[in-house]
A and B are shown apart, each in its own frame.
Chain A
Amino acid sequence: MSHHTTPSKTLWTPANILTAVILAIGLILTVKRFTMGLGSVTNLTDDNPWGIWIGFDLLCGVALAAGGYTTSAAVYLFGMKKYHSAVRPAITTAFLGYAFVVFALLYDLGRYYRLPYPLTIYPGPTSFLFEVGLCVALYLTVLAIEFSPALWETLRWKKLRFWAHSLTLVLTIFGVVLSTLHQSSLGGLYLLAPSKLHPLWYSPYLALFFFISSIPAGLSMVIFEGRLSHKFLHHKMDQTHIDEAPGVTLGFAKAAAVVLFTYFNLKWIGVALDNNWHYLSTGWGTWFLVEMLGFVLLPCLMYAVAAREKNQKLAFWASIVTVLGIVLNRLNISLVAFNWQLPTELRYVPSWEEIMITVFIVTLEITVLRICLNKLPILHEHPEFKGAH
């Protein structure tokens, strides 16, 4: 049984103070960005139009919010009822994840006020970005509805809650379809730039890679956040939740091991497809091997061992390595191996303001998540709606 903390009495814990500082700086930089333009807070250039706001906030944010569709598919479509208590936290994470992805996007878009354009008056369906936008918008709606019962329960709006809950099955199916599409479309974006992406990372299978890797990403986030909630929000969990937690961790660990292994194989098939083996003997090849062996194969084996030995701690560490691996993969494709042919002086390095705004957005997201977990029936069932799932 892991050690868990007891809730503190005061609002001004060290964590909250840090949060406040970050939020304050973030707000100042937000004002700067919106009054003085992108150039004033970013290191973006004409050669490097996408920076960490796309590379991390968008690509990693979407990949790591994949826990929503994987968990709800497992519980509602494949009937794995023993993971039921993990659904609400996963949906919450996913919903907030996607909401903040859209929030971060508003920073990056030059004309953020025109965000609805592609979905309403000027659709451009030849573009994968259109695909991404459409599916993310629809999926955010799906997640909002799937998340809403927690809200309705707190507000005791029974009719609304009943209606939202009855749509679960349809929304889950729709959610998996949309997730498949937008996860893979994010990879599909880079299909248009073979001359700018290093051959070890560019592949006609890019869309498939993004989709497949989003599954262990989501599962790992559920494991990771589950363990953190267990440690810090134990007092908010009901008995079902506590009992089911090890099952969730180990079950998801098993699934993640299988998918990571598949992903590992697929990546090598991608290398073989274009006969790119000779790149492995270059510096880029070494970096590729670090990503593949250290951050795909290693967590795969860690998960496999953890599931076999029923070792939750190992699964937790594996989830951290997996999440880092997904982040590394997305950053490699969008920033590191992108524009690899440019001379060093033209390569992109994020400015501190860009990093700070990313930290700000993530902190804001974590803060909202903490509020949700504390105030809404996510880690426990609402006493008036027990068993109504």
Chain B
Amino acid sequence: MEKGRPMLRWVGILCVSMAVVGFGLNALGGKQGSIEANKVGADLITIDTLTKFGKLDYPVVRFEHDKHTKAVEGKCESCHTVTGNTVTAKFKRQEDTNAAEIKAIYHDNCLKCHNDTTTAGKKSGPGSEQCRTCHAGPAETSRTPIAFDKSLHYRHSSSKMMLPAPGQKENCSKCHAQDKPEARNLSFAENKDQTHEKCMSCHIEVGKALQPSGPLVCAGCHDATVRAGFKKVADVPRLEAGQSDYSLLMATLAKPSSESTLVKPASEPTLVNAVPFNHKLHEDKNENCSVCHHNASTKGVIPCSQCHTSLGKEEGAFITTEQAMHRVTAQTSCVGCHAQAQAKPECAGCHTFMGRTGKNTDASCAKCHVEISAAPELLESKDVRNNTASMLMNVRVKTDPEIKVNEIPEIVEISVLANEYQAGKFPHRKVVQKIMEGMKDNSMAAYFHSDPNAVCSGCHHNSPASVNPPKCVSCHGKVADWQESTKPDLKTAYHQQCIGCHSEMGIQKPAATACADCHAVKQ
């Protein structure tokens, strides 16, 4: 065996090497980098049901629903339980029992259908030996959530297919959980599955009646391109759900005693001043109730303070009334939504530099919070409150701020720093006129800028609003003192203000780097 031993040894070495290499390359479930994250259509459902039972052995399954809908020729009962016109969203089961059972349900049913289809000679899905074709992990999808805007809602509420239930005047209860509009319990569904069940069952029913119906495939609602093609109704009448046009928002403190939740009489310290609120205007400006009443779909349209109390409670995620109204980063809060409006290019030139801490001067608080005496009628009657609010709002300024254009210098020559460059010629009047143009017919801008010379403070900042604001050099010296304050030096102040405003407003000319366009080069 003398000659064979070296050979055997080499083979042994080779086997060991291959084993190590194989092990290394398998690399203990290495990154999924090699599997391409394809972009799947809006019908992608990531089947990850077993995650609630523990760690997964295999990556999640990519399931393309529309493909399968087509394959079963629209017969939902092939996979789902159909009772009457309601389709349960779960696959071949009513509830999630345990991991082993669910896995068996999926594997047995899916693979059976695939095998049957293959046997029938048609193109089919992966078989039992192609685990990772299905278990391919998460993928990017083009699906976006559907937003029910006013036009779409109107098309539903005015549809001939949605007649009121017998004895009802309105057809709200066809979708929403209430009988009378005044009850305003406009909740729709608890979760995604319920939503789908509700929408799809109606669409199926209507479709069966051979009438034009809503989409039955995922992409029909969830694909942004498809949605862009929806018919848009122009002037949608206001949704009447018993809401008032104006309301007076008053802060309350829940009392532990039997006393009702009302503000105390004027002799004791009050909570913050009330805010008259133009509900009608806000309805008009927003797409649907959920923009502000953010849980409308599950909880119905309820007052903010029901969950967001003064001290905060679990239902409101411990977010207090103050935070709910003022949090600058939340679109559902008053300040947050207004701050977003400030981000529009025509506003951003001034407003970006004012910062977004949500904390402004006392004067800006007073824009919303009005001092009124807490008369007993106010506290008791909602109607009285609403009328008060209506009255307060109607005396407000709604017209655009008035600027005496001729009092504004046409050209301002800025020569204080002229060195490498000649004096800059600033077209002051033109700039102000442009800014005013951006505010035209904007009632919010008109109201918040109603103080005289408020608009001037956009550039002439950190000083009392005046027709003759102080020169920039009054506060900005040649060299900045960063230890004392955050004021930049004069050159920086000019450039940051001018170039900053241009870039925020998206003004291309003059370009930031085109120095000579603003001040000519000294020869």
- Contacting residues, chain B, for A297 (C-beta < 8 A): 17
Partner of A281, one of B9, B20, B30: B30
- B26 and A281 contact, CB distance less than 8 A: yes
- Let me know if A298 is at the binding interface, CB within 8 A: yes
A305 to B6: give the CA distance in the assembly, Å: 9
- B25 and A280 contact, CB distance less than 8 A: yes
Closest B-chain residue to A288, C-beta based? B24
Q: Known contacts being A277-B28, A278-B30, A278-B31, is A289 close to B9, with CB within 8 Å?
A: no
- Contacting residues, chain A, for B9 (C-beta < 8 A): 301, 305
Encode contact with A along B1-32: 1 for CB under 8 Å, 0 otherwise. 00000100100010001001100111110110
Q: Known contacts being A297-B17, A298-B13, A301-B13, is A278 close to B24, with CB within 8 Å?
A: no
Which residue, A278, A281, A289, A301, has most C-beta atoms of chain B within 10 A?
Answer: A281
A301 to B20: give the CA distance in the assembly, Å: 15
- Let me know if A293 is at the binding interface, CB within 8 A: yes
A301 to B11: give the CA distance in the assembly, Å: 12
- Let me know if A285 is at the binding interface, CB within 8 A: yes
Q: Known contacts being A298-B13, A305-B9, is A278 close to B27, with CB within 8 Å?
A: yes
- A281 and B24 contact, CB distance less than 8 A: yes
A287 to B398: give the CA distance in the assembly, Å: 73
A280 to B22: give the CA distance in the assembly, Å: 10
Closest A-chain residue to B18, C-beta based? A293
Closest A-chain residue to B29, C-beta based? A278
- Contacting residues, chain A, for B13 (C-beta < 8 A): 298, 301
- Contacting residues, chain A, for B17 (C-beta < 8 A): 293, 297-298
- A293 and B21 contact, CB distance less than 8 A: yes
Encode contact with B along A159-189: 1 for CB under 8 Å, 0 otherwise. 0000000000000000000000000000000
- A285 and B24 contact, CB distance less than 8 A: yes
Closest A-chain residue to B30, C-beta based? A281
Q: Known contacts being A298-B13, A301-B13, is A281 close to B31, with CB within 8 Å?
A: yes
A305 to B10: give the CA distance in the assembly, Å: 10
A277 to B31: give the CA distance in the assembly, Å: 11
> Which of under 10, 10 to 19, 20 to 34, or 35 or more describes the interface residues of A?
10 to 19
B314 to chain A, nearest CB (A): 40
Chain A, 302-351, CB within 8 A of any chain B CB: 305, 309
A354 to chain B, nearest CB (A): 34
- Contacting residues, chain B, for A309 (C-beta < 8 A): 6
A281 to B30: give the CA distance in the assembly, Å: 7
A280 to B20: give the CA distance in the assembly, Å: 11
Chain A, 264-299, CB within 8 A of any chain B CB: 277-278, 280-281, 285-286, 289, 293, 297-298
A135 to B25: give the CA distance in the assembly, Å: 41
B137 to chain A, nearest CB (A): 15
- B24 and A289 contact, CB distance less than 8 A: yes
- Contacting residues, chain A, for B30 (C-beta < 8 A): 277-278, 280-281
Give the A-B pair count, Cβ closer than 8 A: 37
> Which of under 10, 10 to 19, 20 to 34, or 35 or more describes the interface residues of B?
10 to 19
B509 to chain A, nearest CB (A): 36
- Contacting residues, chain A, for B25 (C-beta < 8 A): 280-281, 285-286
A309 to B5: give the CA distance in the assembly, Å: 11
Partner of B21, one of A289, A301, A305: A289
A333 to B20: give the CA distance in the assembly, Å: 23
A309 to chain B, nearest CB (A): 8
B515 to chain A, nearest CB (A): 31
Closest B-chain residue to A286, C-beta based? B25
Partner of B24, one of A280, A298, A301: A280
A214 to chain B, nearest CB (A): 25
A298 to B20: give the CA distance in the assembly, Å: 13
- B20 and A278 contact, CB distance less than 8 A: no
- Contacting residues, chain B, for A305 (C-beta < 8 A): 6, 9
A60 to B68: give the CA distance in the assembly, Å: 63
B280 to chain A, nearest CB (A): 59
- Contacting residues, chain A, for B27 (C-beta < 8 A): 277-278, 280-281, 285
B11 to chain A, nearest CB (A): 12
B15 to chain A, nearest CB (A): 12
Closest A-chain residue to B20, C-beta based? A293
A301 to chain B, nearest CB (A): 5
- Contacting residues, chain A, for B28 (C-beta < 8 A): 277-278
B120 to chain A, nearest CB (A): 40
A289 to B27: give the CA distance in the assembly, Å: 12
Closest A-chain residue to B28, C-beta based? A277
Q: Known contacts being A278-B31, A301-B13, A305-B9, is A289 close to B26, with CB within 8 Å?
A: no
A277 to B13: give the CA distance in the assembly, Å: 23
- Contacting residues, chain B, for A285 (C-beta < 8 A): 24-25, 27
B22 to chain A, nearest CB (A): 10
B7 to chain A, nearest CB (A): 12
Encode contact with A along B328-353: 1 for CB under 8 Å, 0 otherwise. 00000000000000000000000000
B21 to chain A, nearest CB (A): 6
A305 to B9: give the CA distance in the assembly, Å: 9
B419 to chain A, nearest CB (A): 35
Closest A-chain residue to B17, C-beta based? A293
A297 to B19: give the CA distance in the assembly, Å: 13
A50 to chain B, nearest CB (A): 30
A298 to B13: give the CA distance in the assembly, Å: 8
B337 to chain A, nearest CB (A): 44
- Contacting residues, chain A, for B21 (C-beta < 8 A): 289, 293
Closest B-chain residue to A292, C-beta based? B20
- Contacting residues, chain B, for A286 (C-beta < 8 A): 25
Encode contact with B along A37-74: 1 for CB under 8 Å, 0 otherwise. 00000000000000000000000000000000000000
A57 to chain B, nearest CB (A): 32
- Contacting residues, chain B, for A277 (C-beta < 8 A): 24, 27-28, 30
A280 to B23: give the CA distance in the assembly, Å: 9
- B31 and A289 contact, CB distance less than 8 A: no
A313 to B378: give the CA distance in the assembly, Å: 107
Closest A-chain residue to B34, C-beta based? A281
Closest B-chain residue to A314, C-beta based? B6
- Contacting residues, chain A, for B24 (C-beta < 8 A): 277, 280-281, 285, 289
Closest B-chain residue to A297, C-beta based? B17
A293 to B20: give the CA distance in the assembly, Å: 9
Q: A280-B25, A285-B27 are known; give 13 further A-B pairs, CB within 8 A.
A: A277-B24, A277-B30, A278-B27, A281-B24, A281-B27, A281-B31, A281-B34, A285-B25, A289-B20, A293-B17, A293-B21, A298-B13, A305-B9
| Subset of 18 A-B contacts with CB under 8 Å | A277-B24, A277-B28, A278-B28, A280-B25, A280-B27, A280-B30, A281-B24, A281-B25, A281-B26, A281-B30, A285-B25, A285-B27, A286-B25, A289-B24, A293-B21, A297-B17, A305-B6, A309-B6
List residues of chain B with CB under 8 Å of any chain A CB: 6, 9, 13, 17, 20-21, 24-28, 30-31, 34
Closest A-B pairs by Cβ, 3 of them: A281-B27, A281-B30, A280-B24
